[in-house]
């Protein structure tokens, strides 16, 4: 692209792409998309967003296109990758000056510089860090801030890299610049404090930004730049000095607890000298009057998390046999024991219950406005800390809590809102600590003498206590509650069911199911208005959904009536929608027994999903869901399989690129579990063509769904050269791993074909694949897929292929990471075992309220038993492959090959393989 002529047309396209008019916007976006792979396009973008005279929206869009281009085209192995000459020019242009006036654009530029640094620094961009350090020293305020912002994002990105060579490079960088980072933070902190004393608010805010940025840089260097920071005097001195300045701690209350948490998580042993001070600070400001009026919610949450992690950290717990404990564990335990005295624990316990477990005005308002969301909220941080500290120090805290219960005996005045809230908090604490209080509370007596009476107080203000008492009984009923008291409890619950504030509970409803369902069915037959029938069907659907399999004895009449109702509602599509919804819940409740409904269900599904019929506009979505449910619950066997094929498969293709695509994918997956051979013989080719066209036009999430359908879809699509999106890339790699591991000959022929189409050597393509795989391992987050990647690459060994031996270090890197993911240590023998292995299919033990597994669940488990991820020991495979490679090469050649692997990784590998 000619720079002189390109700037104006690109600028015009960017301007049009900021338009609100879709007629202008869409063509501009398409034009920009086509230019993404043109040489010089990103140089033009760089000039545009560096031109401060242009419109802010245009410059913002230019930055975003540049940033996205880094992800897609910066890597050498990417399709349409940028040339090295253009990348060199772009790197120089990005750090020419740091004077961006718009904060949002400055942040985006800092992020994109960090993205480039992740790929190129320091090997191909050694000048980046020195230029940043020099710019940070500058006197001009804007330049200094922008350089510091960029410095932070670069440091953050480099610190996030996980491979051993990258960690070593970052540790080397940290040791070189740590002193400078400390002095930088100290300088900005001093400026901030001086301006605070001088009451120069504007200057203080500016200095505060720099102080925070420099502290963030220091945090990344401290946490990720040193393997054992406690052995580095400069690190520990700097870190301690920060946290013994209480005035500074309160000036930056959000950030310092976060710093401590980060350091504690990564370096618990190095944190030991800070335990005492951290606990003093957190407890003082959260659990004593010192913090009143000073602290706020986020600060309190972080302090509570700090206390919780110190309490629960395994590194701070001595072994049962003290002689086997590490000195660090004993020291940490001693500090904790000295700090958590009886008086301190008593104050913490009282404050947690009487202050932090109280419902707030906002929570009470939420309960009134949206009781379902309020009742389904996550366990708050306060309750988690209460559970942890009560479990650890139950002997001290039990008398404290029992005293609070004793003080609240008897009914509470409904006009006293403070006492009502306090009782709710205390009952909450007793429910949370139910298991710890087993030997100290006679719950049966308490229920009869106190709680039963409170459930019978009907005043509307007392609903807070009625709700809490019902919850409290639910917590204790599996801990300590006599069976002969349960009828009394059921009587009370029946009366409370009239209370609109209480949620429907299936077990309470079951005694009335037969009579209520029979009456609903009679009503459905008696009413004549279409709308009324829809409302009755809606209630029936809700009942069937809630009671699920318990409905089976009572649905005979309904099953016989629904075909007649379907026929009568031929002109009423909305009523047919209600029938479909009822059928979905009926099929789910009946499970495999729903096969008796096939003569009715299959024509219903066929009509609902036939896009050539007008009713499909109303019925399609529910029809597809019913289709999926029928396949999932179908028993194995050939019965009616042909009819199901005819009914279910042809409709899939026309509306795959639609809002029903996810359900269509679920149908295909369910069919593959049910009868993969027959299904693929009939429909693989058409589905592959459909899916391959979809891959080009749908979102990342859609691509992931397509790829999950199966291998056949992927094999017609050159997937592994597309590296744009991490989630999609991880799925691609999982599929490649399956092919490589379970059909190596096909993989070889496939690679040969792809190399021919791309005009490359097969070995070059294989090398690029392995290199990209190692680089993208961080994108694969599930342990099963990480083990699969390791097994797949190990299957390439033993080999005398030069490309594979060149990538040996990367293969071992992936393997060690996977071993860390899947190997667990046996505390008795000290040996490791693969936690992914499954030896047999166990029937799960179900409680009364749990649903049995569906037929599809059983098929999934059987398939998992044949999966190498669950059938093969990674530890065993690693050992056998390394021994085979050593035998192939001989000791003299194998030794230098192992020397290409980081010594720390070799040590870790030896630990895992010590049993052989």
User: pLDDT grade, residue 696 (50/70/90)?
Assistant: low
User: In this predicted model, which residue has the larger pLDDT, 337 or 490?
Assistant: 337
Of 279, 198, 189, 271, which Cα lies nearest the Cα of 228? 271
Looking at every residue in the chain, the average pLDDT score rounds to 81
- Cα–Cα distance for residue pair 865/639, rounded to 1 Å: 26
Across 570-594, average pLDDT: 82
Residue 343 corresponds to which tokens in the numbers above? Answer: 């008086």
First to last CA, the chain: 60
- Token readout for 401 is 């809590």
Asked if the model's pLDDT at residue 190 lies above 80, the reply is yes
Question: pLDDT at residue 310 above 50?
Answer: yes
**Closest by CA position to 557, among listed 585, 510, 522:** 522
Paired residues of 450 in beta bridges? none
Contact by Cβ (8 Å): 144, 194: no
Average pLDDT over residues 180-203: 85
716 pLDDT tier (thresholds 50, 70, 90): very low
Residue 457, token pair as written in the block: 């107080």
Radius of gyration of the chain (CA): 33
Mean pLDDT in residue range 287-310: 84
Taking the CB of residue 374, how many other CB atoms lie within 10 A of it?
15
Most confident of 563-572, 651-660, 696-705: 563-572
Per-residue exposure over 96-126, b if at least 16 CB sit within 10 Å of its own CB, e if not: eebebeeeebbbbbbbbbbbbbbbbbeeebe
Contact 768, 716 (CB under 8 A): no
For residues 457-469, give the mean pLDDT. Answer: 87
- Report residue 715's pLDDT band, with 50, 70 and 90 as the boundaries: very low
Give the residue-averaged pLDDT of 623-651.
61
Residue of higher predicted confidence among 64 and 197:
64
Which phi-psi region, left, alpha or beta, contains residue 637 (left: φ > 0; alpha: ψ -120 to 50)? left
Q: Of the ranges 120-124, 269-273, 490-494, 771-775, which one carries the lowest mean pLDDT score?
A: 490-494
Map residue 651 onto helix, strand or coil.
Answer: coil
* Cis omega (within 30 of 0) for bond into 679: no
Integer Cα distance of 157 and 85 in angstroms: 24
Cis preceding linkage at 149, omega within 30:
no
Pairwise CA distance, residues 732 & 127, whole Å: 36
- CB 715, CB 726: distance < 8 Å: no
* Closest alpha carbon to 339 in 315, 307, 312: 307
Q: How far apart are CA 914 and CA 916, in angstroms?
A: 6
Six-digit token string for 632: 């999932």
Q: What is the mean pLDDT of residues 317-345?
A: 90
Q: Which two tokens stand for residue 69?
A: 């281009």
pLDDT at 114: 94
- At 648, list the tokens: 């279910």
Q: Which residues, in sequence order, are bridge partners of residue 709?
A: none
**What is the enclosing helix (H) or strand (E) of 95?**
none
DSSP assignment of 189-249 equals HHHHHHHHHTT-HHHHHHHHHHHHHHHHHHHHHHHHS-S-GGG-HHHHHHHHHHHT-HHHH
What whole-number distance in Å separates Cα of residue 54 and Cα of residue 350?
Answer: 60
- C-alpha dist (Å) from residue 277 to 236, 240, 660: 14, 9, 57
- Amino acid 102: pLDDT: 92
The per-type count for the chain, helices as H runs and strands as E runs, is 48, 2
Strand partners of residue 832 = 825
CA–CA gap between residue 901 and residue 191 (Å, rounded): 47
Return the number of other C-beta atoms located less than 10 Å from residue 425's C-beta: 22
Ranges of each domain in the chain:
342-503, 510-651, 740-837+872-912
> What is this structure's pTM?
0.55
The two tokens of residue 855 are 């037929």
Q: Is 773 exposed, middle or buried (0-12, 13-18, 19+ CB in 10 A)?
A: buried
Band the pLDDT of 856: cuts 50, 70, 90: confident
CA distance 82 to 70: 9
pLDDT at res. 877: 87
Where helices occur in 569-699 by DSSP H, the ranges are 573-590, 598-608, 616-633, 641-648, 661-695
Residue-wise pLDDT tens digits, 221-242: 988 988 888 888 878 877 666 6
pLDDT tens digits along 514-554: 777 777 778 788 777 777 788 778 778 877 877 788 888 87
pLDDT value at 75 more than 70: yes
The whole-angstrom separation of Cα 62 and Cα 39 is 16
Question: Residue 377 and residue 393: Cα distance in Å, rounded?
Answer: 27
Q: Does the pLDDT at position 219 exceed 60?
A: yes
Stretch among 417-426, 439-448, 673-682 having the lowest mean pLDDT: 673-682
State residue 243's pLDDT score. 59
| Whole-number Å distance between alpha carbons of 496 and 515 | 20
Q: Are 285 and 279 in contact (CB under 8 A)?
A: no
Considering only 470-479, 575-584, 608-617, 756-765, which range has the smallest mean pLDDT? Answer: 756-765
Distance, CA of 440 to CA of 479 (rounded, Å)? 12
- C-alpha–C-alpha distance, residues 910 and 916, integer Å: 10
Nearest to 215 by CA among 171, 248, 170, 244: 248
Q: Which helix (H) or strand (E) holds 356?
A: none
Whether the CB-CB separation of 569 and 576 falls below 8 Å is answered with yes
> pLDDT for 881-908, tens place per residue?
888 888 888 888 888 888 888 888 888 8
Calculate mean pLDDT across residues 647-664: 57
**The pLDDT value given to residue 832:** 76
Mean pLDDT of 609-619: 79
pLDDT of 21 > 90? The answer is no
* Percent with pLDDT over 70 in the chain: 83
- Convert the pLDDT of each residue in 717-730 to its tens digit: 333 333 444 566 67
Q: How far apart are CA 219 and CA 185, in angstroms?
A: 11
Is the predicted pLDDT of residue 831 greater than 90, yes or no? no
Residue 502 pLDDT level (bands cut at 50, 70, 90): very low
Q: What is the mean pLDDT of residues 363-387?
A: 73
């Amino acid at each position: 692209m000619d720079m002189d002529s390109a700037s104006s047309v690109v600028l015009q396209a960017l301007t049009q792409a900021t338009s609100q008019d879709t007629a202008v916007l869409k063509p501009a976006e398409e034009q920009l998309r086509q230019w993404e792979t043109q040489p010089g396009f990103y140089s033009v973008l760089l000039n545009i967003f560096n031109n401060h005279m242009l419109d802010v929206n245009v410059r913002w869009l230019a930055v975003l296109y540049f940033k996205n281009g880094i992800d897609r085209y910066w890597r050498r192995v990417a399709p349409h990758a940028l040339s090295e000459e253009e990348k060199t020019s772009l790197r120089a242009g990005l750090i020419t000056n740091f004077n961006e006036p718009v904060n949002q654009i400055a942040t985006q530029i800092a992020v994109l510089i960090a993205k480039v640094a992740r790929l190129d620094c320091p090997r191909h961009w050694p000048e980046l860090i020195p230029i940043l350090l020099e710019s940070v020293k500058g006197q001009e305020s804007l330049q200094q801030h922008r350089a510091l912002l960029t410095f932070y994002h670069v440091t953050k990105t480099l610190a996030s890299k996980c491979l051993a060579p990258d960690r070593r490079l970052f540790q080397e960088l940290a040791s070189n610049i740590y002193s400078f980072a400390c002095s930088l933070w100290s300088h900005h902190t001093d400026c901030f404090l001086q301006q605070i004393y001088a009451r120069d608010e504007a200057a203080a805010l500016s200095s505060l930004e720099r102080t925070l940025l420099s502290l963030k840089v220091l945090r990344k260097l401290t946490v990720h730049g040193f393997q054992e920071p406690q052995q580095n005097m400069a690190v520990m001195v700097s870190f301690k000095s920060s946290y013994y300045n209480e005035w500074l701690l309160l000036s930056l209350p959000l950030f310092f607890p976060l710093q401590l948490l980060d350091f504690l998580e990564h370096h618990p042993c190095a944190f030991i000298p800070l335990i005492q001070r951290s606990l003093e600070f957190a407890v003082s400001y959260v659990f004593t009057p010192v913090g009143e009026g000073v602290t706020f919610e986020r600060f309190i949450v972080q302090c509570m998390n700090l206390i919780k992690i110190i309490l629960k950290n395994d590194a701070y717990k001595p072994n049962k046999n003290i002689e086997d404990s590490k000195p660090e564990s004993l020291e940490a335990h001693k500090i904790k024991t000295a700090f958590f005295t009886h008086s301190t624990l008593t104050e913490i316990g009282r404050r947690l219950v009487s202050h932090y477990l109280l419902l707030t005005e906002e929570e009470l308002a939420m309960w009134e406005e949206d009781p379902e969301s309020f009742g389904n909220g996550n366990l708050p941080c306060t309750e988690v800390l209460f559970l942890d500290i009560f479990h650890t120090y139950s002997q001290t805290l039990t008398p404290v809590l029992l005293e609070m219960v004793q003080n609240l005996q008897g009914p509470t005045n409904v006009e006293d809102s403070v006492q009502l809230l306090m009782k709710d908090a205390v009952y909450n604490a007793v429910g949370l600590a139910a298991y710890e209080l087993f030997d100290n509370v006679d719950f049966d007596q308490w229920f009869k003498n106190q709680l039963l009476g409170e459930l019978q107080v009907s005043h509307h203000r007392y609903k807070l206590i009625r709700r809490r008492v019902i919850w409290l009984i639910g917590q204790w009923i599996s801990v300590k509650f006599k069976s002969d008291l349960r009828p009394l409890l059921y009587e009370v619950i029946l009366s409370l069911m009239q209370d609109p504030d209480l949620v429907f509970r299936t077990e309470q409803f079951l005694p009335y199911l037969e009579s209520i369902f029979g009456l609903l069915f009679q009503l459905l037959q008696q009413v004549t208005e279409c709308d009324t029938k829809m409302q009755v069907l809606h209630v029936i659907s809700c009942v069937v959904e809630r009671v699920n399999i318990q409905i089976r004895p009572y649905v005979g009449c309904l099953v016989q009536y629904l075909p007649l109702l379907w026929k009568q509602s031929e002109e009423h599509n909305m009523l047919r929608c209600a029938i479909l919804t009822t059928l979905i819940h009926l099929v789910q409740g009946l499970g495999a027994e729903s096969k008796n409904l096939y003569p009715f269900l299959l024509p219903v599904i066929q009509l609902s999903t036939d896009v050539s019929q007008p009713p499909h506009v109303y019925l399609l979505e529910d029809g597809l869901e019913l289709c999926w449910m029928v396949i999932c619950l179908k028993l194995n066997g050939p019965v009616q399989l042909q009819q199901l094929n005819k009914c279910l498969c042809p409709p899939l293709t026309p509306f795959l690129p639609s809002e029903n695509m996810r359900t269509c994918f679920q149908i295909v997956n369910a069919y593959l579990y049910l009868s993969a051979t027959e299904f693929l013989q009939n429909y693989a080719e058409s589905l592959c063509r459909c899916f391959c066209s979809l891959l080009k036009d749908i979102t990342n999430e859609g691509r992931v769904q397509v790829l999950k359908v199966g291998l056949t879809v992927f094999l017609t699509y050159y997937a592994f050269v597309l590296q744009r999106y991490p989630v999609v890339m991880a799925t691609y790699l999982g599929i490649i791993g399956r092919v490589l591991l379970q059909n190596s000959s096909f993989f070889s022929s496939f690679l040969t074909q792809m190399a021919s189409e791309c005009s490359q050597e097969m070995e070059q393509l294989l090398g690029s694949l392995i290199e990209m795989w190692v680089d993208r391992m961080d994108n694969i987050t599930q342990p099963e897929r990480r083990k699969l990647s390791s097994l797949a690459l190990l299957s390439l060994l033993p080999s005398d292929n030069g490309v594979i031996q060149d990538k040996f270090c990367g293969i071992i890197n992936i393997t060690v990471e996977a071993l860390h993911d899947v190997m667990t240590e046996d505390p008795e023998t000290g040996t490791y075992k693969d936690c992914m292995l499954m030896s047999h299919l166990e029937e799960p033990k179900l409680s009364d309220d749990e649903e049995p597994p569906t037929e599809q669940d059983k098929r999934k488990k059987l398939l998992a038993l044949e999966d190498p991820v669950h059938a093969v020991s990674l530890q065993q495979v690693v050992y056998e492959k390394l021994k085979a490679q050593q035998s192939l090469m001989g000791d003299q050649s194998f030794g230098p090959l192992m020397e290409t692997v980081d010594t720390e990784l070799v040590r870790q590998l030896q630990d895992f393989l010590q049993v052989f």
